[in-house]
Amino acid sequence: TDITAANPDADVVLYADVAGTLTEIMRWGVTGVQLKQNSSILDSNANELIKFAATGSAVNEFTVTNVATGNNPILSATGGDANIGINLLAKGTGAVVVGNTDAGALGSQLTLNHAGGSQANSDVVGRILVVGQDDAAANESYSRIDTVVTDVAAATPDSDLVFYVDV
């Protein structure tokens, strides 16, 4: 069944009957789709596939960009702040795993890309930082690996791989 709004500027609201009470669960409008707090997208077996949690004062979000053949889709941190990181948080003793399905000899690859074209000698163009909590529950940097540019010339690019412990 098609749903048509008589006023193109009006929202379309979906309600569910929860124990005899109509409860708003989703809203479509000219600015997008709004799910109610702690909503989920379910798979075909009604199991949670993706859960959403709301922050009342949120200004940052993800933007998902599809692309043409031969390019990689993009998951970007976007929003009101000038510098926005992305946190991937595994649960318990779980791990964040990067993999691929290629049966060739290369295997998985993780690329750290310092884009911008304004690198200079001595710039750190890539860093892996290992952080953990001390006995007072404060974050401590225990080690890091830096890739430091020693020559940015296009004809003779060069770098050093520097290891640090207890930084």
pLDDT of residue 1: 55
The rounded distance, in Å, linking the Cα atoms of 24 and 115 is 44
Closest CA to 126 of 108, 106, 107, 110: 110
The rounded distance, in Å, linking the Cα atoms of 46 and 37 is 18
Q: What is the pTM of this model?
A: 0.67
pLDDT surpassing 80 at residue 6 = no
CB atoms within 10 A of CB 81: 10
pLDDT of residue 53: 83
The rounded distance, in Å, linking the Cα atoms of 166 and 143 is 5
Query: What single-letter DSSP state applies at residue 163?
Result: E
pLDDT of residue 64: 92
Give residue 154's identity as a one-letter amino acid code.
A
**Residue 160 and residue 148 in contact, taking contact as beta carbons nearer than 8 Å:** yes
The rounded distance, in Å, linking the Cα atoms of 125 and 160 is 10
Q: What does the block give as tokens for 51?
A: 């859960």
pLDDT of residue 83: 94
Q: What does the block give as tokens for 157?
A: 């690019």
Give residue 144's identity as a one-letter amino acid code.
R
Query: In residues, how long is the chain?
Result: 167
In order of 3, 44, 73, 118, the CA distances from 86 in angstroms are: 37, 29, 16, 23
Q: pLDDT (tens digit, 9 = 90+) per residue, 50-98?
A: 888 888 899 999 999 999 999 999 999 999 999 999 999 999 999 988 8
Q: pLDDT (tens digit, 9 = 90+) per residue, 90-112?
A: 999 999 888 888 888 888 888 88
The rounded distance, in Å, linking the Cα atoms of 60 and 49 is 22
pLDDT of residue 4: 62
